[in-house]
Amino acid sequence: MVELVVVLVLVGILAAMAVPKFGAALAARDEGWRDALMGGLRYAQKSAVSHRRLVCVDIGASSVTLNIASANPASSCNTPLQGPGGSHVYATASTSPGTAVSPAGTLYFQPDGRVTSDGAGTTAANRAITAAGVATINIVGETGYVE
């Protein structure tokens, strides 16, 4: 009986040490998703300006994909924008971090760097991207600045 109590006490002590470390690992994973998402958005804005083409960003619950227009002017993107890794998927998460864009929909980075609500670029729109457990990402419509 004494041995059983000692084992239970040791398991309790180990669990008390492991739970905070497990929470820290989950927080690091969430921050990694936020950083990858911000990197993809910044790459989209810089690519739109440098290529002088429309770049479309689609943000799913656990992935970010970028496409670019094959000609300028354009109101839609029809070609995958290849990144440093050779894929047009810029960020993925092993679990769904519950990412949401407000207002919802595709982000259109115009050749002048602005973010608009449509491919034609008529109205610049501020966007907010939220994910569970991390700070909100804000995009300024008039400049395309990602903060």
What's residue 90's pLDDT? 79
pLDDT, greater one: 103 or 79: 79
* 136 DSSP assignment: P
pLDDT band at 28 (very low <50, low <70, confident <90, very high): low
Residues, the chain, total?
147
What integer is the mean pLDDT of 26-39? 74
Q: What is the pLDDT of residue 37?
A: 86
Q: What is the pLDDT of residue 97?
A: 66
Tokens 């839609």 locate to 76
105-142 confidence digits (pLDDT tens): 899 999 999 999 888 888 898 999 887 777 889 999 99
Q: What is the 3-state secondary structure (H, E, C) of 52-121?
A: CCCEEEEECCCEEEEEECCCCCCCCCCEECCCCCCCCEEEECCCCCCCEEECCCCEEECCCCCEECCCCC
Give domain limits for the chain.
1-146
CATH of domain 1-146: 3.55.40.10
The contacts of residue 6 (CB under 8 Å, 6+ apart) are: none
**Enclosing H/E stretch for 23:** helix 2-51
Question: What pLDDT is recorded for position 84?
Answer: 74
User: Would the pTM of this model clear 0.85, i.e. be above it?
Assistant: no
